[in-house]
Amino acid sequence: MSENALALKCDLNNLPVQMGADADYTELAKGGDFLARLQLYGKGKHIDRGDIERGHYGIAEGDEIIDLGDVIDVIPFARRPKAMDMSDADNLIIVYDNATDEFKRIAAASVGQDSGCMYGVSFLLYERNSGRFLEFFCGTKSTRSEAKKLFPYLPLTAADVKSRGLDEEPHGPLPLTLKSKLVEKGKWTWWVPVCVKCSVPFKKVPTNEQIIKEITRFVNPSKEGPEKVEEPAGRKGRAR
């Protein structure tokens, strides 16, 4: 027992202390209906403030960060294209259709230094320790190269096998482990995600109803709530 726990004379072991299941309270305690972001932190204000360590994965909760550590286990359920122009924090542009001119504009602008633009693959993941669905956006050059390594872990339907002409058996989502690695190139250093096979089975997974709901929302992003992102340092106006 914790030294701060209240010592009671009555026995609560045989008394119910909550209504409903634990999952009900996780849902009720959500701050909003938007999908929280999973991010690998290597620099920035949260590192400077000591909110999270370098090379750790975290969940952004407003101005706070939930530190998940440098190794996490996840289940990938879906993917979608995504481009973001954050050069104007008051007028963010987020595009999910990679065939549009706006998506292509953002992708082209992303090569510029401090452009505030990103593009790549966005994944819907379920993280083991938090028990939450999260978005993991691989929107930088270094994360895009790792994104393709997550693809084999995504669900593969019979329709996918047929349409892609694959010589594989259909399968459900496969658990994977995300680690982090420090890359050093000259005077520059940065952290990148590393994807490997998960060796520990998931004992607790979402219900079928929860999975269907989250996948449906994810692949229909116009139905999601507002997305919260941080303004890139030093940006005050949109670069064109």
pTM for the structure as a whole? 0.79
Residues in the chain, how many?
Answer: 240
Which 3 state secondary structure label does DSSP give 1? coil
Kindly calculate the radius of gyration of the chain based on its CA atoms and give it in whole angstroms.
20
Which 3 state secondary structure label does DSSP give 36? coil
> Residue 63 — pLDDT band, cuts 50, 70, 90?
confident
Residue 29 has pLDDT above 80, yes or no: no
Whose tokens are 């340092």? That residue is 233
pLDDT in tens, 188-202: 888 999 999 999 999
Tell me what pLDDT residue 227 has.
Answer: 53
* Contact by Cβ (8 Å): 85, 117: yes
Please indicate whether residue 178 or residue 92 has the higher confidence score (pLDDT). Answer: 178
AA letter at 192: V
* Contact by Cβ (8 Å): 94, 106: no
By the 10 Å C-beta count (0-12 exposed, 13-18 middle, 19+ buried), 200 is classed as exposed
Which 3 state secondary structure label does DSSP give 43? coil
Q: Which contiguous run of DSSP H or E holds residue 196? A: strand 188-197
Q: Running DSSP on this structure, what letter comes out for residue 213? A: H
Q: Which residues partner with 196 through β-bridges?
A: 177
Over residues 43-57, the mean pLDDT reads 90
Residue 58 has pLDDT above 60, yes or no: yes
* Contact by Cβ (8 Å): 143, 192: yes
Top-ranked range on mean pLDDT: pick from 43-52, 109-118, 210-219: 210-219
Number of Cβ atoms within 10 Å of the Cβ of 163: 9
Q: Compute the C-alpha angle 66/148/194, nearest 5°.
A: 45
What average pLDDT does the chain have? 85
Residue 239 has pLDDT above 50, yes or no: no
Tell me what pLDDT residue 120 has.
Answer: 96
Q: Which residues partner with 189 through β-bridges?
A: 184
Structure tokens at 8: 């009671």
Exposure pattern of 112-144 as b/e (b: 16+ CB <10 Å)? Answer: eeebbbbbbbbbbbbbbebebbbbbbbbbeebe
Structure tokens at 160: 């996918």
Tell me what pLDDT residue 108 has.
Answer: 95
Over residues 114-138, the mean pLDDT reads 94
